[in-house]
Structure 1
């Protein structure tokens, strides 16, 4: 090689340059397999590391989703809505660990509709007649933008219960013409329907009604501050049960023609009966009127949330019917979605159709 180089040095510069280029090309080509092998090894090592990292990442749990917090409006704690709302909240939470339901006491259906459309509540229990008036833009909701109220399902029936001490000698509701009547919290379903009854029977409701919570029932009757108490809720109404346990009471009656007049006041009303034995000392069944109590939401609730909540109601209906007596009608899941005075939310309608409860 050295002799060849020395010999080449005597040759022309052009030929010498060509000679060196040939030498460099030979060295480079000889090196290519080694370089490629090294790159292949490096590449393989990188893939293995990536694979190893992917395996490690698979073992790391995904971060928990933030809990969804919803509020359900109910009513006075001495009535039926509050315990019903609590039972429904527990059922929803038990079926979805990512769901948290706050139960809020309120003055009842009218307030619940207002708070629902103003997004203070996500869900609310509302009596069927009140929901109907809100949807139809009727008083007391005229011009208040409550038409967007929708229903996820009916949960129980509210019934008109009127009681008075046996010692009063009063037998019929129309006998209360000159008496003071405890008629539940102001703006509640009890208050609203009690006023409709009294006005239908020719009794001046403005001067005869005392608005007070159900928890005051026994105290007011014991002190003779009121002669009778009206409750419009699912039976048995807890505060009336407590009162009947501590004093002799009579469940007041309607005449048939009176009930027919009352039924004409709202299409959500229907004839029903308070079975004998519902309250201590009640030996006869009492004919009265009632409406369905609805779990309502705003039409703006997203379809997926409405559908999931409704699916839980359907799955849990049997268990809910056994939790408290007022929810007993849920033993038949069709109760949830039939004879409703306002439209179902689209998400709820989808859930009932998939469950075969609606066509």
Structure 2
């Protein structure tokens, strides 16, 4: 963000501590901006406060040594539009919507390809999650038709994935009793109140919204499998098979087979390379600390983070760091001494 031209912020680092405090007090008294003292320099676009994206954004802000704030948004599509317009510097988005934004497909067809989009790194896997009321009589994916369902708010990644799944399955809105478009932080309550029979969420696990639905609403997780899912995986490079470990939402919760995408951290090519470099170095220089903030981050590897789910070119600041570490050569090819790309989650090992 460009610093404000006015206010009482010091212009030189030689300003004494008492004078700095006096200036801050005067700014607060007069209601003037305190640039360099309290303003955020970096906003990271996330999604619903109930999801792992917002946790990821807050964790990134904890890692970096500059003023930073994780900003809740309408989700992946909204974040990609904000990056294109310059409203956001850095944001999270699903790998499928990243691909569509780069190529001007899907919901980005009208806007056209975004050649300014740049990748920084990818994060956790996001299984497409189907949560149903046990008393709704839904046993599999095909069973959600003729029921009331929440598909997510416009601009969210969960809605985008659900619409593609509906298209692959040959479904339209008329195949459902009701199609709600509530954001992720409201949908579990709708399920509890009986206003919908099922909700979908593309999210890392464990997730508090999903946990709330299972704990309070007699809800269950359902496998998402079938010919439509097989076609989506075969035809789209950003989809892959995914699993939700058994037992993470209670002792009677079995492992769930589904498909999914990856969360990716993105920027515009206009975003300051030094800013991106500082963020990337803060994360990779302290990767064990970063991975400890949420179970969904625990299986991240360097190799996977700089490759998996990334279809946009790497940002200049990220590329500089990866080359300095010897992880990529000048052509952007992986160095042979890199660690393995994939790692099995200990909770999944017995279910593969």
Measured against the shorter chain, the TM-score band is 0.7 to 0.9
Between 124-133 and 308-317, report the one with greater CA deviation.
308-317
TM-aligned CA distance change 1:120 to 1:282, over 3 Å: farther
The answer to whether the Cα contact below 8 Å between 1:160 and 1:232 also exists between their aligned partners in 2 is yes
Q: Are 1:91 and 2:58 matched, yes or no?
A: no
Give the corresponding residue for 1:118.
85
Q: 1:338 aligns with which of 293, 307, 322?
A: 307
Distance in 2, matches of 1:110 and 1:356, equals 33
Moved over 6 A (4+): none
Aligned to 1:254: 224
The equivalent residue for 1:150 is 118
The change in CA–CA distance for 1:118 and 1:61 in structure 2 (over 3 A counts) is: closer
Q: Does residue 234 of the first structure (1) align with residue 201 of the second (2)? A: no
2:261 aligned with 1:291, yes or no? Answer: yes
2:147 paired with 1:175? no
Q: TM-score, normalised by structure 1?
A: 0.76
Matched residues in 1 for 2:286 and 2:123: separation? 12
Deviation per residue, 1:212-238 (Å, 9 max, x gap):
122223321222110101011111222
Partner of residue 13, structure 1: none
Q: Which runs of 5 or more residues in structure 2 are unaligned?
A: 1-11, 17-34, 330-352
> 1:3 — aligned with what?
none
Contact 1:165 1:227 in 2 (8 A): yes
Partners of 2:257 and 2:326 lie apart in 1 by 34
Residue aligned with 1:258, SS:
helix
Tell me the alpha carbon deviations over residues 57-89 of structure 1, each in whole angstroms, 9 at most, x when there is no partner.
Answer: xxx974599477011111111122111111111
More moved, 233-242 vs 216-225:
216-225
Match of 2:233 among 263, 268, 271: 263
User: Cα 1:164–1:69, aligned 2, differ >3 Å: closer, same or farther?
Assistant: same
Structure 1 residue 71 corresponds to structure 2 residue 43 = yes
- CA deviation digits over 1:13-55, x for unaligned, max 9? xxxxxxxxxxxxxxxxxxxxxxxxxxxxxxxxxxxxxxxxxxx
Q: Does 1:166 align with 2:134?
A: yes
Query: Does the CA-based 8 Å contact 2:224-2:259 persist in structure 1?
Result: no
Match of 1:200 among 160, 168, 188: 168
* Cα pair 1:129 1:341 within 8 Å, conserved: no
Question: C-alpha separation between the residues in 2 aligned to 1:255 and 1:324?
Answer: 27
Return the TM-score normalized by structure 2: 0.78
Counterpart CA distance in 2 for 1:159 and 1:303 is 32
The 3-state SS of whatever aligns with 1:323 is coil
Larger radius of gyration: 1
Aligned partners of 1:114 and 1:146 also within 8 Å: no
Contact 2:46/2:54 (8 A) holds in 1: yes
